[in-house]
Amino acid sequence: MGVHLTSFQGSVTEAIRTAIVGVIADATVHVEGGGGHFTIEVVSPVFAGKNRVESQRLVLGAIAHLMKGDAAPVHAVDSLRTRVP
C-alpha cells in the first residue's frame, strides 16, 4: 500500500474517509463513530455491476492498514453500506 496514514494528524474518521476516497473513484463517504467502532457508508458509481462481497471488499481493502494489529485505530466496522448513486 502506497499511502501511509499511521502518522496521520487528525481524526480516525478523517483517515478512513481519506483512505477510501484515495482508492474508490468518485466516492461519497460518510463515516461516523469513535472509540475504535465506526459506521461507514460509501456511495460510488464503481459499485455498479459488483455484488455485495466485491463492493465491501473494495472498501475494507482501502482501510485494511487502519484495521491491522492489536492497537489498530479501527477496531471494528459496526456497519458498512455500499451503494450506487
Partner 1 sequence: MALDETTRARIEDLLRSERVVLFMKGNRHFPQCGFSATVVNILNEFLPSYKTINVLADPALREGIKEYTQWPTIPQLYVGGEFVGGCDIVKELYASGELATMLGAPAAAAPAAAPAGGGKALSLRLSEAAAKAMREALGPGDDEFVRLEVSPRYAYDLSIGPRRPGDVEVEASGLTVLVDAASAARADGTAIDFVDGPQGGFKISNPGEPPQVRQLGVRELKAMLERKAPLELFDVRTEKERAVARIEGARLLDAAAEAHLRSLPKDATIVFHCHHGGRSQAAAERFLAEGYRNVYNLKGGIDAWSLEVDPSVPRY
Residue 9 or 35: the one with the smaller Cβ distance to partner 1 is 35
Point out which residues bind partner 1 (CB under 8 A): 52-53, 56-57, 60, 64, 67, 76-77, 79-81, 83
Angle, in degrees to the nearest 10, between helices 52-62 and 12-23: 120
What is the C-alpha separation between 78 and 1, in angstroms, rounded?
Answer: 24
* Of the candidates 61, 54, 59, the residue with the CA atom closest to the CA atom of residue 80: 59
Least distance (Å) from partner 1 to the CB of residue 9?
Answer: 25
Least distance (Å) from partner 1 to the CB of residue 18?
Answer: 18
Residue 46 or 59: the one with the smaller Cβ distance to partner 1 is 59
Least distance (Å) from partner 1 to the CB of residue 80?
Answer: 5
Q: How far apart are the first and last CA of the chain?
A: 27
